[in-house]
Structure 1
Amino acid sequence: MSQKRVVIFSGGELHPQYIEEIQPGDFIIGADKGALFLTQHGIKPDLAVGDFDSISTQELEHVRMESRKIVECDPVDKDLTDTELAFKMAFREQPDFILLIGGTGTRMDHTLANIQMLNRALQHHIACAIMDQNNYITLTGSKIEVLDRGYKYISLLPITLEVTGITLEGFQYPLENATLKMGESLGISNALLESFGIVTVEDGLLLIIQSRD
């Protein structure tokens, strides 16, 4: 059975090659400037969402015309970021996997908020990843298969105070029943030995960051 995916394009770092990440059957959401990016590259999002305060009136009209559905909100009264609104809409689709593109960039506050949103997906029992040109970021609190996606390094970072029972299989530097505490660098710059590796965690939440540099 094929995996049901939602792909979110947000307003951070965006490049034309990201369009290639879209697969047939994907439910596509454009958040604010991400919706404009999609429509400018010939992609009709299934849903455009946000306050659209980062695009012009003319560009917004283009998004309205080229999106299958649009949900607009007031930029002053809203409590959520455009990306979090997109996540809430994505959860309604009950996907197996959510891919966030444009979730990182120069705004560190937005980048960190989006990384923390991986936990929201985990709470909904949905696999999720954030991708940009140099990084592929996932989160686990149990067991995850890490595929070789062409990134040189793989780093493990706890986002809870402590992550226990960490076991790595198929990595250059294996671990068995290890503990990582927030602020420690033991998990930085590992690498895969083969086409995939397995990360197992007993307790806590562990970020897995595949990076090129």
Structure 2
Amino acid sequence: MSQKRVIIFSGGELQPRFIEEIQPGDFIIGADKGALFLISHGIHPDIAAGDFDSISLQELDLVRTKSRKVVECDPIDKDLTDTELAFELAIREQPDFILLVGGTGTRMDHTLANVQMLSHALQHHIQCAIMDQNNYITLTGSKIEVRDLGFKYVSLLPMTPEVTGITLEGFQYPLNNATLKIGESLGISNVLIAPSGKVSIEGGLLLVIQSRD
């Protein structure tokens, strides 16, 4: 049985090759200028969402015309970022997996907020990942398989003050029932030694970041 997937294109770092991540049947959401990016590459978003304050009025008309549905909000009187709005819309689709691209970039506040949103997906029992040119970021509260996606390193960072019972299989530097606390770097720059590895934990939330220079 195939997974139901939602892919969100947000307004951060976007590369044309990210279009290749789209598979037949994917539900596509464009957040703010992420919607314009999709349309400029021949993709009609299922939903375009945001305040659209980063595109021109002419570009907004194009987004309205080329998107199957548009969800607009006021650029000032709003409680959610454009990406979080898109994320909430993605969760409503009840997918098995959400992929966020364009969720990182020059704004560290937005990047960190988007990384923290991974926990929201986890609460809804939805797998989620953030991808950019150099990183693939996931979150687990139990166990996860880490597939070799062509990134050199795999780093583990606590999202909660403490993550306990960390056990690794298929990595150059194994761990067995280890504990990581926020501020510790023990989990940085591990390496897969198999096509995939396994990460399991007993308590807390653990970021699993595949990365390359």
Q: TM-score, normalised by structure 2?
A: 0.99
Alignment of 1:84-99 (within 5 A): 84-99=84-99
1:37 matched to 2:37: yes
For residue 76 of structure 1, report the CA deviation from its aligned partner. Answer: 1.0
1:5 matched to 2:5: yes
Alignment of 1:151-162 (within 5 A): 151-162=151-162
Match of 2:20 in 1: 20
For residue 199 of structure 1, report the CA deviation from its aligned partner. Answer: 0.2
For residue 6 of structure 1, report the CA deviation from its aligned partner. Answer: 0.1
Match of 1:103 in 2: 103
Match of 1:56 in 2: 56
Match of 2:174 in 1: 174
* Cα distance in 2 for residues equivalent to 1:76 and 1:155: 37
Match of 1:191 in 2: 191
* Cα distance in 2 for residues equivalent to 1:72 and 1:204: 36
* Cα distance in 1 for residues equivalent to 2:76 and 2:155: 38
* Cα distance in 1 for residues equivalent to 2:209 and 2:32: 26
Gaps of 5+ in 1: none
* Cα distance in 2 for residues equivalent to 1:66 and 1:166: 47
**2:24 aligned counterpart, secondary structure:** coil
Match of 2:141 in 1: 141
* Cα distance in 2 for residues equivalent to 1:183 and 1:87: 28
Q: Over the residues paired in the alignment, what is the CA RMSD in angstroms?
A: 0.4
For residue 86 of structure 1, report the CA deviation from its aligned partner. Answer: 0.4
Of all paired residues, the percent bearing the same amino acid is: 80
Gaps of 5+ in 2: none
* Cα distance in 2 for residues equivalent to 1:76 and 1:157: 34
Q: TM-score, normalised by structure 1?
A: 0.99
Aligned length: 213
Runs of 4+ in 1 over 4 A off after TM superposition: none
**2:54 aligned counterpart, secondary structure:** coil
* Cα distance in 2 for residues equivalent to 1:195 and 1:64: 43
1:206 matched to 2:203: no
